[in-house]
């Protein structure tokens, strides 16, 4: 409760995460996130919830720098390289939280004239962002791996312009490896890319249904041999990368939703009418 109230005093909108977890303890968390001390006190009196910081309502862009394996650079190194290429440096005096896994959350104030959303790897390996539609685990929260610790209590600085410009650049195209491993008709390729775009752009609250629909639509190609189930799983999982940055949407849920959609698409393809693209299969 103390940690939640401290974040609210700083102007952040907070909501409870399950005890010992990163998962929201309330539905519609982005709309329920608040700075109201009475509501916060009421929530955290019930249980020692972890603290979720809703980045969109809080007007924040949080740069999430993840630790990597020994043979890969830390997210901070990736961000440092990006800064050097822009002739800049990483701000060291903004509000900063260290994660149990050795990562860092750098808090910045979002500019009023631009809207940013969650990204995964847009800025480089092991660098994600949380903004509109996302949240971060706040300082003081405890998960099995350890505690989220506040290491720089300074006021959140404005998002540096060089970072804002980098986030405005078009995202690198999603490259699903299994899908790229064999040739496809232009029709099938366009269908896959269209569904990928829908999934990637899905709003919070619509991600599961959009992913399910995409899997069901593409699943109709499986019966004709135009696509394999593995290719669809690969393509749609890749399209979910930005959502996985938001922490409430994990790979287990993604896999389960895709599998359900594929089953539905397969049943639809069992009817006598030909499946989409059946006449244009490439041998």
Structure confidence by residue, pLDDT tens digits, 218-245: 988 887 778 888 888 888 888 887 666 5
Q: Is residue 113 part of a domain?
A: yes
Domain tally, the chain:
2
Cα–Cα distance measured from residue 186 to residue 226, given in angstroms and rounded to the nearest whole number: 11
Q: What token pair was written down for 9?
A: 């005093």
pLDDT in tens, 156-189: 999 999 999 999 876 554 544 455 555 567 778 8
Q: Are residues 76 and 204 in the same domain?
A: no
Same domain, 244 and 163: no
Residue 77 and residue 53 share a domain:
yes
pLDDT at 112 over 70: yes
Pair (9, 80) in one structural domain:
yes
pTM of the model: 0.69
Distance, CA of 273 to CA of 224 (rounded, Å): 12
189 and 229 share one domain: yes
pLDDT (0 to 100) of residue 81: 92
**In degrees, to the nearest 5, what angle opens at C-alpha 75 toward C-alphas 73 and 81?**
75
Q: Mean pLDDT, to the nearest integer, of 11-32?
A: 94
In this prediction, residues 185-202 reach a mean pLDDT of: 80
Both tokens of 191, joined, read: 């269908």
Name the domain boundary from 168, 186, 205.
Answer: 168
Whole-number pLDDT of residue 135:
93
Last residue of a domain, one of 111, 139, 168: 168
Maximum mean pLDDT: which of 7-11, 68-72, 117-121, 237-241: 7-11
Which range of residues forms the domain containing residue 91?
Answer: 2-168
Q: Which of 168, 189, 216 is the last residue of a domain?
A: 168
Tell me the mean pLDDT in the region 191-198: 84
Strand order in 50-54's β-sheet?
Answer: 13-17, 50-54, 135-137
Token pair listed for 90 = 């990483």
Question: Hey, what are 11's tokens?
Answer: 């102007």
What is the rounded CA–CA span in Å between residue 126 and residue 96?
A: 17
Q: Looking at the structure, do residues 139 and 233 belong to the same domain, yes or no? A: no
Q: Which residues have CB under 8 Å from 50's CB, separation 6+?
A: 16, 17, 18, 19, 20, 21, 22, 137, 138, 141, 142, 143
Same domain, 114 and 212: no
- In a domain? residue 281: no
Tokens of 85: 């290429």
Q: Are residues 33 and 68 in the same domain?
A: yes
pLDDT of 172 reads 52
């Amino acid at each position: 409760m103390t940690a939640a109230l401290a974040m609210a005093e700083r102007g952040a909108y907070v909501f409870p995460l399950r005890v010992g977890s990163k998962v929201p303890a309330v539905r519609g968390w982005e709309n329920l996130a608040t700075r109201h001390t009475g509501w916060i006190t009421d929530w955290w009196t019930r249980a020692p919830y972890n603290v979720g910081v809703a980045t969109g309502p809080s007007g924040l862009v949080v740069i999430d720098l993840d630790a990597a394996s020994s043979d890969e650079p830390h997210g901070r190194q990736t961000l440092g390289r990006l800064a050097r290429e822009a002739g800049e440096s990483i701000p060291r005096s903004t509000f900063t939280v260290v994660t149990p896994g050795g990562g860092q959350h750098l808090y910045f104030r979002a500019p009023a004239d631009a809207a940013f959303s969650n990204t995964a790897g847009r800025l480089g390996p092991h660098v994600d962002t949380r903004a509109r539609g996302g949240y971060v685990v706040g300082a003081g929260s405890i998960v099995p791996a350890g505690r989220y610790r506040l290491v720089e209590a300074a006021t959140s600085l404005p998002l540096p312009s060089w970072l804002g410009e980098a986030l405005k650049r078009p995202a690198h195209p999603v490259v699903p490896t299994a899908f790229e491993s064999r040739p496809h008709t232009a029709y099938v390729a366009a269908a896959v890319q269209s569904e990928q775009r829908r999934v990637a752009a899905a709003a919070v609250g619509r991600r599961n249904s959009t992913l399910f629909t995409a899997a069901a639509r593409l699943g109709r190609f499986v019966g004709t041999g135009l696509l394999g189930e593995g290719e669809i799983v690969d393509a749609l999982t890749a399209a979910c990368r930005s959502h996985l940055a938001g922490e409430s949407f994990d790979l287990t849920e993604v896999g389960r939703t895709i599998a359900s959609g594929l089953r539905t698409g397969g049943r639809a393809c069992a009817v006598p009418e030909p499946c989409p693209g059946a006449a244009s299969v490439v041998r």
